[in-house]
Structure 1
Amino acid sequence: MKQSAPGLPETATIDDAILAFGNGSQTLLPIVNTEGKVSSIVTKTDLYRAMTHGQDFHEPVGTIGKKEVASLREDQTVREALRVLYMNDVKQAPVLDDQSRPVGVLSHLDLAEARIRLEQRASEGADASSNKPLPHSQE
């Protein structure tokens, strides 16, 4: 899981979102309300689309963000998380704590890696159930 900043506030501009992404590999940023809860997300693709359509970078980032957010919980298993991503046809989703605040972003590749590690442990005789909680490694 990629540990993320607590998210951009709803009052942030498109310009703020561009700066928040920087040159990093993260492609999704949660947008949070005044309580710190996820209200929408913005992706690098959303920003690219805004740039190509000549959108004003001083507009709120929420004008280009997605309101319907597929999200994961910290206590979900690898299998459950894969199902959420698959059923919502997304490659990544924010991971939320028990108060709906973002703690990171998990991608389908992170989950594939976790599944491989579980299978390797199984071949070594350890419990490799895919009913283990989500991986919480820092990058």
Structure 2
Amino acid sequence: MHHLTVKDVMTHKVISVGENTGFKDIAQTLLTHTVSALPVVDDDGHVVGIVSEADLLRGKEPQDTLSGEPTPPKRQTCANRTGGEVARELMRVPAITISKDAPVADAGRLMRENDVKRLPVIDGQGRLAGIVSRCDLLRAFIRSDHDIEREVRLDVLTRSLWMDTSLVQVTVKDGVVTLSGRMTLRGDTRIALDMTRQIDGVIDVIDELAWDRDNTRTGERL
């Protein structure tokens, strides 16, 4: 059974900046390509950080010269910065990255845990290979019901279980799979259900399977 990996859904052409790229050039690149953040790479193409619009606008709060207390925050713009900073000084480290061979589910988990919308994708040597966004991950779940049904029948029921599954019916509606009919062993119904849940694009699995013989241990959690 094939599971989509990050390299299957990522954008291969990715815009990045070097460690010594200046403030104004970073800002121009963000505006030109309509992105909110850029990977920062070293001379060998390794991802060393991330620089975003927020990083460019972030600065020290000005201090009240008499009390030493922060003055009310002011909206900072590119125009009131000196432009002397480079990506190395502005970027956030370490960069949160994902391997190109990682399952798409791992990329989604990293995005949720770190509250980010995209991740730089790296190869086995840590070099920038692409970028994956939330939209890219969603494409993994946009599969036709026909494709899902075919994968359940071929990869789960025929190739993996190695048994006569002619009495099992598979129906798919909007990504929800219903398995019905009859199987010989109760344990095999569990395997079929678990494997179906792991198929890319499956939203939920409804169990309507019956079985002839219970080959599970008494009290075993199913």
TM-score (norm. length: structure 1): 0.76
How far residue 117 of structure 1 moved from its aligned partner, in angstroms, is 3.1
Q: Would the alpha carbon gap of residues 125 and 61 (structure 1) be closer, same or farther in structure 2, given more than 3 Å must change?
A: same
Q: Quote the Cα distance in structure 2 between the aligned partners of 1:52 and 1:120.
A: 53
Which amino acid letter does the alignment assign opposite residue 20 of structure 2?
Answer: T
Which amino acid letter does the alignment assign opposite residue 89 of structure 2?
Answer: T
- Match status 1:16 vs 2:25: yes
How far residue 57 of structure 1 moved from its aligned partner, in angstroms, is 1.6
- Match status 1:92 vs 2:118: yes
How far residue 81 of structure 1 moved from its aligned partner, in angstroms, is 1.1
Q: Quote the Cα distance in structure 2 between the aligned partners of 1:9 and 1:90.
A: 21
How far residue 119 of structure 1 moved from its aligned partner, in angstroms, is 6.8
How far residue 120 of structure 1 moved from its aligned partner, in angstroms, is 7.0
Can you give the 5+ residue segments of structure 2 that lack an aligned partner in the other structure? 1-9, 60-74, 153-197, 201-222
- Written as runs of structure 1 = structure 2, the 5 A alignment for 1:91-130 is 91-117=117-143, 121-122=147-148, 124-126=149-151, 129-130=199-200
Q: Quote the Cα distance in structure 1 between the aligned partners of 2:45 and 2:52.
A: 19
How far residue 85 of structure 1 moved from its aligned partner, in angstroms, is 1.2
Name the structure 2 match of 1:26: 35
Q: Quote the Cα distance in structure 2 between the aligned partners of 1:92 and 1:65.
A: 16
Q: Quote the Cα distance in structure 2 between the aligned partners of 1:18 and 1:101.
A: 23
Q: Is the 8 A contact 1:118 1:129 kept in 2?
A: no
Q: Quote the Cα distance in structure 2 between the aligned partners of 1:11 and 1:118.
A: 46
Name the structure 2 match of 1:52: 76
How far residue 101 of structure 1 moved from its aligned partner, in angstroms, is 1.2
Which amino acid letter does the alignment assign opposite residue 19 of structure 2?
Answer: E
Name the structure 2 match of 1:134: none
Which amino acid letter does the alignment assign opposite residue 25 of structure 1?
Answer: T
- Match status 1:81 vs 2:107: yes
How far residue 30 of structure 1 moved from its aligned partner, in angstroms, is 0.9
Larger relative contact order (C-alpha < 8 A, sep ≥ 6)? 1
Which amino acid letter does the alignment assign opposite residue 24 of structure 2?
Answer: D
TM-score (norm. length: structure 2): 0.50
Structure ID, larger Rg: 2
Question: Number of aligned pairs?
Answer: 129
How far residue 76 of structure 1 moved from its aligned partner, in angstroms, is 1.0
Can you give the 5+ residue segments of structure 1 that lack an aligned partner in the other structure? 131-139
Moved more, 33-42 or 22-31: 22-31
Q: Would the alpha carbon gap of residues 118 and 12 (structure 1) be closer, same or farther in structure 2, given more than 3 Å must change?
A: farther
How far residue 92 of structure 1 moved from its aligned partner, in angstroms, is 1.0
Q: Is the 8 A contact 1:42 1:66 kept in 2?
A: yes
Q: Would the alpha carbon gap of residues 72 and 62 (structure 1) be closer, same or farther in structure 2, given more than 3 Å must change?
A: same
Which amino acid letter does the alignment assign opposite residue 94 of structure 2?
Answer: E
